[in-house]
Structure 1
Amino acid sequence: MNTDTKSDGVRAHVREVVLAAVRGLVLALAMLPVAVLCFTLTLVSVALIPLGLGIVTTPAVLGGVREFADTRRRLAAEWCGIPIRSSYRPLPEGANPWTRTVLMLGDPATWRDMRWLLADMTAGFVTALLPAVLLFYPFEGFAVAAGLWRVVSADGHPYWYGFVPVSDQPTALGAAATAAVLLFAAYHLAPRLLTAHFRLTRAVLGGDQGELVERVRVLTETRRDAVDTSAAELRRIERDLHDGAQARLVAMGMDLGTIEMLVERDPARAKQLLAQARRNSAEALEELRDLVRGIHPPVLAERGLGDAVRALALRLPLPTEVAVELPGRADAPVESAAYFAVSEVLTNAVKHSGADRIWADLHHTDGMLRITVTDDGKGGAAVGAGSGLAGVERRLGTFDGVLAVSSPAGGPTMVTMEIPCALS
């Protein structure tokens, strides 16, 4: 059993080596001409700006460079799991060529792309090609060792394999030994060299500044969303107070004024109005309690997120199982955001999924609060404009949280929410 496992591991690694060599060869041979073309066209287009022609061509050329760079970013993530952020400044829609040219040339990411093209044509080309050289070049050495040198050196001149001059059988064996060393190096280094290529790409194309720009953009969007959400929540509270408790309190005040006038002339009518005022006060108090509970449920403040979600599940019309593994409590804003996010997801599941059962799981691992809500409904849920899930995504984004939805047609639907936080 152990031998079979080792054999499977060796075969998997060999496949990884071959895949790294083929991918590196594609990068070196197919994308090098594209890099040279992009760099040359950019220089020519920028040089033609004083003549006016470059104003028209530069946005298109730089747009092509950005697409080429984004392709490399995508390959880095797919092939080696190395994320490289794209941090270009947004361009206004409908801008004229002159404005687009000025904005694109003023974007630091444009000049970072140019530096990357230079690096990709030199050191990047070498690191991409090396895996293929280490894997495929040894086969020539083995062919030389098998006697091919006798044909290619028939004129009396030695056949050079790397740094080994092959002119007889002993030197041919030396070529074979060199090939074996290269093949051994390929087995151990080919995937690492491809990873080194993409790390070089990230070092030049990504950069801390790019990540900082992306971070600022995300924070700006989440802050705007948070402000919009807070304003909408304040309007809801104001509307609920105006239409509910305030109206009942006004009616109660009017009843008390009427009672004051009737208490001596018509005591029976005054008693009826007193009973009505008491009912109005009780209803107003209940509405105020519901309003406060909607702002911050008491069970959430007193017993934490786990018990609050359990209490929420008990009020649902569908059977709901809740599993909680939280060794402590998060900060109050995080708990509140998570609670209302779960509430929205559960409400959507009840209203739209057609499910018979719902499962909710809450746990905290590796500094991340993870919440998963699953239903056995018809599926088809998606995050989009006007969707309740879009609001959940904005709510989580305020705390650097993320939302993932898996909802194929026919179900089931799984909504996963993650918020980075520490528990007390």
Structure 2
Amino acid sequence: MPMTGTRARDAGVAAARGLALGGMSLIGSITLFTLTVVSIGLIPIGVGVLTTPALLGLIRSHADRRRLLAATWTGTGIPVAHRPLPERRPGVAGRAGHCWMLVKSPTTWRDLRWLLIDMTAGAATALLPASLFGEGLFGVLLLLGLWKPVVRAGGGYWYEFVRVDGWGTAALAALVGAGWIAVGLRFGPSLIRVHFGITRSWLIPTREAELGERIDRLTETRHDAVDSSAAELRRIERDLHDGAQARLVAMGMNLSTVEALIEKDPAQARLVLSMARASSAEALSELRDLVRGIHPPVLAERGLGDAVRALALRLPVTTEVEVDLPGRAEAPVESAAYFAVSEVLTNAVKHAAADRIQVDVYHVEGMLRISVTDDGRGGASTGAGSGLSGIQRRLGTFDGVLAVNSPVGGPTMVTMEIPCVLSSPKTSSC
């Protein structure tokens, strides 16, 4: 009996989820496909240049939403295969170039093909669990007297292969209806998994397309890595010059003054010596902060899991961290992941007005996956000028990707993936 109750509950949940997915497929996918095809067709006269980028952005958001539901409802992982939207240069030429880059992207046509499948096979598999229940329930209702008004209205009624014209045939129809309900109980959750399986098969790129996009992305991120390294070196030089170096120079001057005063005015010499000691303490503190900004000691000593936990402890917002890492990644990968998480958490605190944050760090299928979810105001994006675009470039250096699902009003879920192998022994408590 408990098993039957569990199966009925799972089937009911599958039917409800199927209705939601069917609505997304029939309304969202059809609308986006139609508008986008029309918009692309209007590019030669200039109108499509204005509308196509926005619509393609909506399609990507639509696909990302389906990825999130696939992972949440069935545990089906659908990798984020598209590259970040290119930043638009100012002016008419920049807008046109931006539109052209989007239209010629293989990702655009892959998403459009998925919309076609989603509005047909995707919608059918999503709506089938609810349809099975609805059809079965109607058959049962025929036995409860519904057959009388139906037969009077039409002079006879065919339910599946049964012609209902009396109590006997109504009972047979109810038996067939009970069979449809049983099929729904047995296969409803599986049909939802089939729906997401279809989605996955059309959203992930072919091997050739994946390699082509990876080469392009690595070429771009190589330049970003060089620029980032140069900027980081300039920052370190500036911090040393304006901070620790200035403190050490002041300390040296104070010690020279002490040498001159120690015989003539010991009291004044002790005062200057105290100032020198304070300068040395400040210089040491600034050097430690600088080292922590380059590579935090807790990250080097304890690994990514404990380093993220240390980040969470310093936040003014309740933050839960779940870590499942059976080993250590290479130091550059850990460093990139750590600073990416740090920036996402900073954004959640500063801009999202979140009250609660959940961080999940785990390694599966050769990927280091990190998700940061907050209950803030939402509306985050990876567009130009956003801090998330910098995280994209940081992860791209390691062939990693970032996906953002942040509807207005929240919640926001930022997912980061970096391909890596955990080859070192486990040294943290995660």
Indicate if the aligned counterparts of 2:139 and 2:173 stay in contact, CA closer than 8 A.
yes
User: How high is the TM-score relative to the length of structure 2?
Assistant: 0.54
Partner residue in 1 for 2:55 = 64
Residue by residue over 1:67-111, the C-alpha shift from the partner in whole angstroms, topping out at 9 and shown as x without a partner, is: 245235325524762666464522415442543442222222221
**Superposition deviation, residue 154 in structure 1:** 7.4
Indicate if the aligned counterparts of 1:245 and 1:284 stay in contact, CA closer than 8 A.
yes
Q: Does 1:240 align with 2:243?
A: yes
The 2-side partners of 1:401 and 1:58 are apart by: 27
Aligned to 1:199, the other structure's residue is in SS state helix
Note the 1:260-275 alignment, pairs <5 A: none
The 1-side partners of 2:170 and 2:71 are apart by: 37
Aligned to 2:35, the other structure's residue is in SS state helix
Indicate if the aligned counterparts of 1:36 and 1:121 stay in contact, CA closer than 8 A.
no
Q: Does 1:116 align with 2:114?
A: yes
Q: What is the letter of the counterpart of residue 240 of structure 2?
A: I
Partner residue in 2 for 1:178 = 176
**Alignment match of 1:199 (pick from 192, 197, 200):** 197
The 2-side partners of 1:237 and 1:401 are apart by: 33
**Superposition deviation, residue 14 in structure 1:** 4.9
The 2-side partners of 1:21 and 1:69 are apart by: 21
The 1-side partners of 2:26 and 2:113 are apart by: 20
Sequence identity percentage: 19
Aligned to 1:89, the other structure's residue is in SS state coil
**Superposition deviation, residue 57 in structure 1:** 2.6
Q: Does 1:13 align with 2:5?
A: no
**Superposition deviation, residue 16 in structure 1:** 0.6
Aligned to 2:202, the other structure's residue is in SS state helix
CA gap 1:228/1:109 in 2 versus in 1, 3 angstroms: same
Note the 1:103-142 alignment, pairs <5 A: 103-142=101-140
**Superposition deviation, residue 113 in structure 1:** 2.3
Residue by residue over 1:388-407, the C-alpha shift from the partner in whole angstroms, topping out at 9 and shown as x without a partner, is: xx89x97xx779899xxxxx
Moved more, 196-205 or 208-217: 208-217
The 1-side partners of 2:273 and 2:18 are apart by: 83
Note the 1:21-170 alignment, pairs <5 A: 21-27=18-24, 29-31=26-28, 33-34=30-31, 37-38=34-35, 41-42=38-39, 45-46=40-41, 52-53=44-45, 55-57=46-48, 59-61=50-52, 63-78=54-69, 81=72, 85=80, 87-96=83-92, 98-144=96-142, 148=147, 151=151, 159-164=157-162
Partner residue in 1 for 2:410 = none
The 2-side partners of 1:178 and 1:170 are apart by: 13
**Superposition deviation, residue 281 in structure 1:** 8.9
Indicate if the aligned counterparts of 2:244 and 2:287 stay in contact, CA closer than 8 A.
no
Higher relative contact order (CA 8 A, sep 6+): 2
Q: What is the letter of the counterpart of residue 13 of structure 1?
A: D
**Superposition deviation, residue 184 in structure 1:** 1.4
The 1-side partners of 2:232 and 2:166 are apart by: 82
The 2-side partners of 1:17 and 1:185 are apart by: 13
**Superposition deviation, residue 219 in structure 1:** 6.5
User: How high is the TM-score relative to the length of structure 1?
Assistant: 0.55
**Superposition deviation, residue 205 in structure 1:** 3.2
Q: What is the letter of the counterpart of residue 235 of structure 1?
A: R
Indicate if the aligned counterparts of 1:80 and 1:195 stay in contact, CA closer than 8 A.
no
Q: Which runs of 5+ in 2 are unaligned?
A: 315-322, 350-359, 381-386, 403-416
Partner residue in 1 for 2:413 = none
The 2-side partners of 1:39 and 1:90 are apart by: 18
CA gap 1:246/1:112 in 2 versus in 1, 3 angstroms: same
Aligned to 1:127, the other structure's residue is in SS state helix
Q: Which runs of 5+ in 1 are unaligned?
A: 260-266, 317-324, 350-362, 373-379, 384-389, 403-417
Partner residue in 2 for 1:358 = none
CA gap 1:191/1:7 in 2 versus in 1, 3 angstroms: closer
Note the 1:291-330 alignment, pairs <5 A: 293-296=288-291, 300=297, 304=301
CA gap 1:130/1:365 in 2 versus in 1, 3 angstroms: closer
Indicate if the aligned counterparts of 1:113 and 1:205 stay in contact, CA closer than 8 A.
yes
Residue by residue over 1:153-209, the C-alpha shift from the partner in whole angstroms, topping out at 9 and shown as x without a partner, is: 976xx8543355667776655543332222112123323323432332233235376
CA gap 1:21/1:63 in 2 versus in 1, 3 angstroms: same
Q: What is the letter of the counterpart of residue 151 of structure 2?
A: V
Indicate if the aligned counterparts of 2:251 and 2:279 stay in contact, CA closer than 8 A.
yes
Residue by residue over 1:341-373, the C-alpha shift from the partner in whole angstroms, topping out at 9 and shown as x without a partner, is: 99xx9xxx9xxxxxxxxxxxxx99879999x9x
> How many pairs were matched up?
349
